[in-house]
Amino acid sequence: MNGVLIPHTPIAVDFWSLRRAGSARLFFLSHMHADHTVGLSSTWARPLYCSPVTAFLLHRRLQVSKQWIRALEVGESHVLPLDEIGRETMTVTLIDANHCPGSVMFLFEGYFGTILYTGDFRYTPSMLKEPALRVGKQIHTLYLDNTNCNPELVLPSQQEAAHQIVELIRKHPHHNVKIGLYHLGKESLLEQLALEFQTWVVLSPCRLELVQLLGLADVFTVEEKAGRIHAVNHTEICHSAMLRWNQTHPTIAILPTSRKIPSSHPNIHVIPYSDHSSYSELRAFVTALKPCQVVPIVSRQPYRDYFQDSLGPRLSVPLIPDSVQQYMSSSSRKPSVFWLLKRKCRPRTQGVMFESLEEKADQFQADRDSKANNKNLCGNLEKQPSHHPLQIRKQLSPDLCSKERDEAVPFSESQKMVTVLTAPLGFSVHLRSPETGEEIGVGPHLVPRGESDGSAVSGNQRTWRSQGSPPSHRSKAVPLLAPEFSGLALKYLLTPVNFFQARFSSRGFDQQMEKYHKSLVKFREESTTLFDPALQF
């Protein structure tokens, strides 16, 4: 990607990676070629400054919202704030870069000195006559297009290269001409050829819309057979295409570029017409400006200190004003939309998870502590481990699971004994016994009870009620997991949340659940029957 973050400033040019942009707050786009818009898409949501033509193309082709596009007139100076309170400002001037429609150079002036970012440009002497450069300003940093910065690469001027193309077409008066171009650029060359040969130039509808916006001569059309000069995408010019075109009509193809492209067909001609400055032109430009330092833009292109003899004295690193420092750091602490989406889309914890209702848990804890202060304790309670699934205030006898469990357990009117089962808070389900068909309510603080007349009931005729209901005078102590209620689903519900570890798999969940209930059975067999007045009603 061609683009820079200008050090000690909040300025970024042709740089669209917010993750790497750091403290950049002001974003500028020099032109709409693809290598300068990497990362820029319809999701862009920050102010972006560019020329009016680039603004049109940016919205039309990349669907960037108009609310973020700030079009600045070319050739004029604009004052932009460098902080959130307007204390520090800078002046930016847009200069025509002679590269493609809408391409500009940016001249920044502020506390950091004077910085010229050329972007991609083709130097002409008229550039030095621009008012922003003509007054003899000292350029502290020159960000230079070094695409053709190679003394061994000798390029003709655009006028000379255009003349070579004209002469080539004249040598083939009865041939159609295919001009291989990128999606944007060299529209003025097409206009020149159309006027020279008095013919229509056939374009794609997308490029026709562009030339109409630029106000070029009315020499363009989309009708395939209207003219002998056709502008096509440069990737279409190949050996197979040349064979196909020449089957219907004699055709030559021209690639106007400074790149070294081997010809795959005798009728494919590469003409060194370039939109980038040649080495000699770069020398003339740097010598005229005498910047303090030159920074190459194209990182992939080898660059040497070709301009050391043309540089001015180096300056010290500028001090960043406090308000600008706050501006550069303030927004970075705010979560970006991409960070929020990342949080929203992060994977969920695997396995089954019960979430307790904190308010219900606190209320139950308070009620339990209040009852525990009752001094009419009829037995010593062993302290239950914190991870125990069911809070049992009455210790069950070892023979509780035997058939003798159906015998009534006597207790006085003032010392009613119940067994409290604490299911995971917030859950209330209704199951049906597979043997009797009776409905079983499973919810918070389940309590077994007898029939309403106080008589004892046997195993399969037991019903369940919530703790808030008044108990009968005589009740049966019921095993925690009777055979008819020992299904896997009920075990899941009666296993507390805090017994499991986070991020467990479904298999691990089953194993932990079974381990828990095995320990429960063992605990039940080793326990003795105690009376807990804290649970008396």
Q: Is the pTM of this model over 0.75?
A: no
3-state secondary structure of 459: helix
User: Contact 381/501 with Cβ under 8 angstroms?
Assistant: no
User: Contact 52/60 with Cβ under 8 angstroms?
Assistant: no
Residue 429: CB atoms within 10 Å: 12
Cα angle, residue 471 at apex, residues 469 and 473 outer, rounded to 5°: 160
Instruction: Give me the architecture of the 4-151+278-330 domain, per CATH.
Output: 4-Layer Sandwich (3.60)
User: pLDDT per residue over 245-264, tens digit each?
Assistant: 999 999 999 999 988 888 78
| Residue 96: closest CA among 190, 188, 220, 212 | 188
pLDDT at 68: 96
φ, ψ (nearest 5 deg) of residue 284: -65, -40
**DSSP letters for 24-55:** --EEE-----GGG-TT--TT--S-EEE-HHHH
User: Contact 251/268 with Cβ under 8 angstroms?
Assistant: no
Question: According to CATH, where is 3.40.50.12650 located in the chain?
Answer: 158-271
pLDDT at 232: 94
Taken as a whole, the chain contains a residue count of 537
Instruction: Indicate if the alpha-carbon torsion angle 217, 221, 226, 228 is positive or negative.
Output: positive
3-state secondary structure of 489: helix
- Tell me how far apart the alpha carbons of residues 466 and 488 are, in angstroms, rounded to a whole number: 22
3-state secondary structure of 150: coil
Question: According to CATH, where is 3.60.15.10 located in the chain?
Answer: 4-151+278-330
Determine how β-strand 446-449 pairs with β-strand 439-442. Answer: unpaired
Token couple for 525? 């067999």
Type and span of the H or E element at 515: helix 506-526
Where the chain has pLDDT below 50, the residues are 332-361, 364, 371, 374-435, 439-482, 484-485, 503-504, 528-537
- Tell me how far apart the alpha carbons of residues 335 and 225 are, in angstroms, rounded to a whole number: 56
Residue 262: CB atoms within 10 Å: 6
Token couple for 49? 């400054």
Token couple for 195? 């006027």
User: Contact 75/96 with Cβ under 8 angstroms?
Assistant: yes
| Residue 110: closest CA among 9, 31, 218 | 9
Cα angle, residue 221 at apex, residues 217 and 225 outer, rounded to 5°: 135
SS3 for 331-366 is HHHCCCHHHHHHHHCCCCCCCCCCCCCHHHHHHHHH
- Tell me how far apart the alpha carbons of residues 38 and 14 are, in angstroms, rounded to a whole number: 8
pLDDT at 473: 42
Note the Cα 226 to chain centre separation in Å: 47
3-state secondary structure of 287: helix
pLDDT at 395: 41
Identify each DSSP E strand in 347-472 by its residue range: 429-432, 439-442, 446-449, 463-466
- Tell me how far apart the alpha carbons of residues 44 and 430 are, in angstroms, rounded to a whole number: 52
- Tell me how far apart the alpha carbons of residues 265 and 143 are, in angstroms, rounded to a whole number: 39
- Tell me how far apart the alpha carbons of residues 484 and 162 are, in angstroms, rounded to a whole number: 94
Widest Cα–Cα separation across the chain: 121
Query: According to DSSP H, which parts of 295-448 are helical?
Result: 322-330, 337-344, 358-372
- Tell me how far apart the alpha carbons of residues 485 and 492 are, in angstroms, rounded to a whole number: 12
User: pLDDT per residue over 395-407, tens digit each?
Assistant: 433 443 444 444 4
Token couple for 32? 């709409």
φ, ψ (nearest 5 deg) of residue 57: -65, -35
pLDDT at 310: 82
Instruction: Report which DSSP code applies to 526.
Output: H
- Tell me how far apart the alpha carbons of residues 47 and 238 are, in angstroms, rounded to a whole number: 41
Q: Residues 238-247: contacts with CB within 8 Å, 24+ apart?
A: 238/264, 238/265, 239/264, 239/265, 242/267, 242/268, 245/176, 245/178
Determine how β-strand 463-466 pairs with β-strand 429-432. Answer: unpaired
Q: Which residues contact 345 (CB under 8 A, 6 or more apart)?
A: none
Instruction: Return the CATH number of 158-271, one of 3.90.1580.10, 3.40.50.360, 3.40.50.12650, 3.40.50.300.
Output: 3.40.50.12650
